[in-house]
A and B are shown apart, each in its own frame.
Chain A
Amino acid sequence: MNVVAVLARRELSLAWARGGGALLAVGFFVAAALMLPLALGPAPERLAGVSGGVTWVVLSLASLLSLDRMFERDFEDGALDLLALGPLPLEIVASVKCLAQWTVSGAPLAIAAPVVAVGLGAPVASAPMILVAAALGGLAFAFLGGTGAALALASRRGGLLIAVVVLPLLTPPVIFGGAAIANFTAGLPWGGALSLLAAYALGCVALTPFAMAGACRNAQS
Chain B
Amino acid sequence: MITVLSVEDLALQRGERVLFRHLGLRVAAGEAVALTGSNGAGKTSLLRAIAGFIRPIEGRIAFEGAAGALPADDARRAGCHLVGHQDGLKPGRRARDELLFQARWHGGTAPGALAAAERLGLTRLLGLEVRVLSAGQRRRLALARLIASPRPLWLLDEPLAPLDAASRTLFGILMAEHLARGGLIVAAVHDPLPIAARTVGIAA
Q: Which residues of A contact B (CB under 8 A)?
A: 1, 3, 6-7, 9-10, 13-14, 17, 73, 76-79, 81-87, 217, 220-221
Contact = CB atoms under 8 A, between A and B. Distances in A.
B110 to A, nearest CB: 8
B53 A3 contact: no
B106 to A, nearest CB: 6
A79 B90 contact: yes
Contacts of B76: 85
B105 A77 contact: no
A78 B53 contact: no
A199 B10 CA distance: 47
A77 B87 contact: yes
B19 to A, nearest CB: 14
Nearest to B107: A87
Given A73-B90, A86-B77, A87-B78, A81 B51 contact: yes
A76 B89 CA distance: 10
B92 interface: yes
13 contacts: A1-B104, A6-B101, A9-B101, A77-B87, A77-B89, A78-B87, A81-B86, A82-B102, A85-B51, A85-B76, A87-B105, A87-B107, A221-B55
A86 B92 contact: no
Given A13-B97, A221-B53, A85 B85 contact: no
Contacts of A7: 105
Which of A13, A85, A220 has the most C-beta atoms of chain B within 10 angstroms of its own C-beta? Answer: A85
Given A3-B104, A7-B105, A220-B53, A85 B89 contact: no
A14 B90 contact: yes
A216 B160 CA distance: 28
Contacts of A221: 53-55
A217 B107 CA distance: 22
A84 B91 CA distance: 20
A81 B89 contact: no
Contact of A77 (B82, B86, B104): B86
Contacts of B78: 87
A166 B183 CA distance: 46
A46 B91 CA distance: 49
A154 to B, nearest CB: 12
A82 B107 CA distance: 12
B116 to A, nearest CB: 16
Nearest to A82: B88
B169 to A, nearest CB: 25
B82 A17 contact: no
A6 B105 contact: yes
A76 B86 CA distance: 8
